[in-house]
Amino acid sequence: MVALHFLKGAAAMKVTQLSPHIGAEVTGIDLRNPTDAESRRRLNAAVVDNVALVIRDQDFTPRQYLAAIALFGEPMEQHFTQYALPDCPLVHEVSNRHTDKSGKRVMHGAGWHTDHTNHVRPPKYTSLYAVALPSSGGDTAVVNMRAGYEALPEAMRQKIQGMKTVNVFQGSASARYSGQSADAQAEHKPEPVLQPLVRTNPDNGAKALYFHPVKTENIAGMGAAESQTLLADLLERSVRSEFIYRHQWRKGDMLIWDNRAAMHRAYFDYDPGEYRLLYRVLVRGELPF
Ligand code: SIN
């Protein structure tokens, strides 16, 4: 039986590019079944090449989802442990019903960001799986920061080459982002972590812009205000519509993207009375360089 699944998985899987700069769709594979080495290679290459990948028609329990993620690497711990599933803690809920200590609804991920830049080894991939969806809206968008970097003027690329960002759990710029919970910082002692502003993807050698508008407090050797001005300018120049993949969720979708070449954000443009629940898993990355 296993051997049959093996052959079916490898032969039937189809990867279709969705736009010239970002996004691909995978059909014809059920990641609950054993997956052969060639399918694993193609899936990982598709994430790196296309930055964001949607794998259609999955039907996971949390444990099956976690097992599927192992095809891409080692799942890692996440911030906000209160959202971890009690019996499968590497899987977190991303829900529009979460509230902060004052009872206010939190809107995590409402602005462009990448995950956990304050970790020494931040996640190389982030994945979401749709569990409950509003009748319309609630998309997740991913932007190709490799294309964003390549689109910068040469003088700007030279200026930022070699710069390091200083990353904390929640930087002082967080006030601008309604998605951040006000009580979060108090629970996490910030221990700054340096990251390269221009990051090289070890899987293809490509450079990309790499920073988090909230967690990046400043650029090393530069004041906070000057740093934020530069980062805002880089964000504006690099987040272009043609570099964005805006994912409209369907039941059964598993979305995965390469944090070494991407930022992402959620859209809160749906009826808040409707339920939106995704499961999220992070895949451990390497030391950025
Ligand atoms: C996130 O930033 O991980 C959440 C994205 C989403 O809710 O679509």
* Domain boundaries defined on the chain: 2-284
CB burial of 2-14 (b: ≥16 within 10 Å; e: otherwise) equals eeeebeebbeebe
Question: In this predicted structure, what is the pLDDT of residue 171?
Answer: 64
- Note the helical H segments in the chain: 2-12, 37-50, 62-69, 145-150, 154-160, 184-187, 224-238
Residue type, 269: D
Q: Percentage of residues in the chain with pLDDT exceeding 90?
A: 82
Q: 2 falls in which pLDDT band (50, 70, 90)?
A: very low
Instruction: Give the Å distance between the CA of 280 and the centre of ligand 1.
Output: 8
CATH class for the region spanning 2-284:
alpha beta
Instruction: Give the Å distance between the CA of 68 and the centre of ligand 1.
Output: 19
Judge if the beta carbon of residue 123 lies within 6 A of ligand 1.
no
Average pLDDT, the chain: 91
Instruction: Give the Å distance between the CA of 108 and the centre of ligand 1.
Output: 7
Judge if the beta carbon of residue 133 lies within 6 A of ligand 1.
no
Judge if the beta carbon of residue 15 lies within 6 A of ligand 1.
no
Judge if the beta carbon of residue 55 lies within 6 A of ligand 1.
no
For the stretch 205-216, pLDDT in tens is: 999 999 999 889
Judge if the beta carbon of residue 266 lies within 6 A of ligand 1.
yes
The backbone torsions φ and ψ at residue 117, rounded to the nearest 5 degrees and listed phi first, read -65, -15
Instruction: Give the Å distance between the CA of 265 and the centre of ligand 1.
Output: 6
What single string gives the DSSP state of each residue in 35-79?
--HHHHHHHHHHHHHHSEEEE-S----HHHHHHHHTTTS-EE--S
Measure the CA–CA gap between 260 and 270, rounded to whole angstroms. Answer: 29
Ligand 1 atom at shortest distance from the alpha carbon of 278: 7
Q: Is the pTM of this model over 0.85?
A: yes
More confident of the two residues 9 and 116: 116
Residue nearest to atom 3 of ligand 1 (CA): 109
For the stretch 46-103, pLDDT in tens is: 999 999 999 999 999 999 999 999 999 999 999 889 999 999 999 999 999 999 888 8
Q: Is residue 267 within 8 Å of 117, Cβ to Cβ?
A: no
Judge if the beta carbon of residue 138 lies within 6 A of ligand 1.
no
- For 160, the 3-state DSSP assignment is helix
